[in-house]
Amino acid sequence: SRRGDGHADLSYVYAAAREIVGALDGPAVIVTKSTVPVGTGDEVERIARELRPDLDIQVVSNPEFLREGAAISDFKRPDRVVVGTTGSDRAIAVMSQIYRPLNLNQAPLMFTGRRTAELIKYAANAFLATKITFINEMADLCEAVGAEVQDVSRGIGLDNRIGGKFLHAGPGYGGSCFPKDTLALVKTGQDHDAPIRIVETVVQVNDLRKRAMGRKIVKALGGDARGKKVALLGLTFKPNTDDMRDAPSLAIVQALEDAGANIVAYDPEGMDVAAPMMPSVTMAGDAYEAAQGADALVLVTEWDIFRALDLKRLATAMNGKALVDLRNIYPLNEATEAGFTLSRVGAAG
């Protein structure tokens, strides 16, 4: 959980530390896997020293870099394993032994200072969030000047110094990590009189973008959504999860409801979680049921099942022919051939 200022609610972390230390009967290494503000390990160590000054207890930061929906493969084949210690040979030996099986797969084990390890996690997520936000702003510029953001993304991503990952324009980032971690990093910078202006802007731009996607849908409806039926395909912040935390769909639904639209939605996994968060939205049994009688169809989350839809069947079921593809899944010629008027992100039409 987190407080309103973007920092984690550390009471749970400290309570867990007290519980662990209370159960110890010998030397130990306590490993923090959670993403926690810089300096949290120091406080955990203070708690350990206070409760059991008689024991050799080392506190290590070992942040995880696992993606939702791919956690097991990421654990087995990590890009790197970051271990932050205060220089204890015993802690380093213990952590090296724990990760020894992964070293057979050449996983780089990186030892740093404890505060450095805590900061690496935030810096990594903030940088990825910045890449997403950068290409999203490029998408807006592409629409304004008549360029294609997918080509811009490929053109810069083929530069090895930049790389193509996280350069897919869309409705903005969400989920459990990027919103929380960017806010926490911003707060840490402010607390230490070292403001991170780039990340501050990333947070602001991303928040505004989600609601702007709602306005994009209203524009596709001819500028008036009152009484119109809008079908949303996908609600979760990304595919292969039921996670609705800070999902762009939440802001999109709010913007559409404010504009007077009636909304029906379908998501392969997220409807049970989403339903209480958007009580006015009707949940459908599949994409085709959602499209029935709709004035606009909006692709919000790029689930694999949405990549192979029968566009002609969808268009036939609908009342209008507006297709708003917020993930740039569908080629313009295929959508047009099916009878749709396609709106994409970062492209004309």
Residues labelled as active-site residues: 177
| Helix/strand/coil (H/E/C) assignment for every residue in 284-324 | CCCHHHHHCCCCEEEECCCCHHHHHCCHHHHHHHCCCCEEE
Contact indicator for 301, 327 with CB cutoff of 8 Å: yes
Q: How far is CA 334 from the centre of its chain?
A: 29
DSSP string, 213-257: HHHHHHHHTTS--TT-EEEEE--SSSSS----TT-HHHHHHHHHH
Nearest-CA neighbor of 10 among 118, 127, 125?
118
Residue written as token pair 């919000």: 300
